[in-house]
Amino acid sequence: MKKLLAAALTLSLLMPAAAFAEADSDLAYVQEKGTLVVGITDFAPMDYREEGSDEWIGFDADMAKAFAESLGVQAEFIEIDWDNKILELDGQTIDCVWNGMTLTDEVMSAMETSNAYCNNAQVVVVPADAADQYQDVESIADLTFAVEAGSAGEAEVTALGYATTPVQSQADTLMEVSAGTSDAAVIDLLMAAAMIGEGTSYENLTHTVELNSEKYGVGFRKGSDLAAALNQFFADSYADGSMLEIAEKYGVQDAVLEQ
């Protein structure tokens, strides 16, 4: 009993330390250690690797490298479990999340986010042979939707009042539809373009209704001064055309937002 009490006391003593964010500048911290650790998941065309290559490329990856260079540090990419992104930031195991992240209220309250830099939408994925019946929001009311737990897609479907089945990842939602355990899935437009259709395991799936439009941003630790530094970098690279140049390389120039 005494030990339990002691353990509880130790924990409660440590907790307040977590509540106070560090007073020092995050920018200085990153520059001192010389690396900007970028948390990503494999997500073409934002962060991905080409066949036989170990180098991370993509619109987000190339921008992250350029941003790191402007700070005089190296960008280091590390794949994380997407559910743990806030843990990873606060635990200082990564310095930013730069991976086609939708700016939701939850994200913006838990992180210091940059200005929006890219447009996206949540789309409904259904089997291709049934796609004709599901072309508007009313027609999909009776379907069951597989959604990624905690995703922007889940929020959209819940707001419509339709039935959802939350699963681990956006990739899993497609398996649900493919296996017939759910009628439809809701995922990112940019991801749907890469993951379904010809040349994938989901040749029989297609996307129809766009439920909303939304914006991508980059996330930093709450209170970090890196967000302001990135906004400045976005503005500069948009003005000199280098941002659009990188975007064109990956075919996302139409989605890029003016800075």
Partner 1 sequence: MELIMKQMPIVLHSLNLGFIQTLKLFILTLLGAFPLGLVIAFGSMSRVKLLRYPTRFIVWIIRGTPLMIQLLIVFYFPGLVLHNPIWGGGELGRFTASVVAFIINYACYFSEIYRGGIQSVPIGQEEAGLVLGMTKSQIFFRVKLLQMIKRIVPPMSNEVITLVKDTSLARIIGFQEIIWAGQKFMKGDQGISGAIWPLFFTALYYLIFNGVISMLLGKLEKKLDFFR
Q: Which of 133, 200, 213, 232 binds partner 1 (CB under 8 A)?
A: 200
Residue ranges of alpha helices (H) inside 77-217 are: 85-90, 105-110, 152-160, 170-179, 189-195
CA distance 95 to 98: 10
Looking at the Cβ atoms of 18 and 142, the one nearer to partner 1 is 18
- The yes or no reply on residue 91 touching partner 1 (CB under 8 A) is yes
Q: Which residue has the tokens 């990739």?
A: 171
Nearest-10 crossing angle of helices 59-71, 242-249? 150
Question: Which stretch in 83-91, 140-148, 227-235, 236-244 sits in contact with partner 1 by CB under 8 A?
Answer: 83-91
Please tell me what DSSP assigns to residue 257.
Answer: P
Closest by alpha carbon to 216, among 257, 172, 163? 257
Q: Which of 75, 147, 191, 246 binds partner 1 (CB under 8 A)?
A: 191
Q: Write out the two tokens for 225.
A: 């001064």
Q: Which of 12, 14, 55, 180 binds partner 1 (CB under 8 A)?
A: 14
Looking at the Cβ atoms of 161 and 180, the one nearer to partner 1 is 180
Interactions with partner 1, residue window 95-134 (CB under 8 A): 95
- The yes or no reply on residue 87 touching partner 1 (CB under 8 A) is yes
Please tell me what DSSP assigns to residue 133.
Answer: G
Task: State the burial class of residue 255 (Cβ atoms within 10 Å of its Cβ: 0-12, 13-18, 19+).
Answer: middle
Looking at the Cβ atoms of 91 and 150, the one nearer to partner 1 is 91
Q: Which of 1, 5, 12, 52 binds partner 1 (CB under 8 A)?
A: 52
Q: Applying CB under 8 A, which residues contact partner 1?
A: 3, 14-15, 17-18, 22, 37, 39, 41-44, 48-53, 76, 78-81, 84, 87-88, 90-95, 169-172, 174-175, 178, 191, 194-196, 199-202
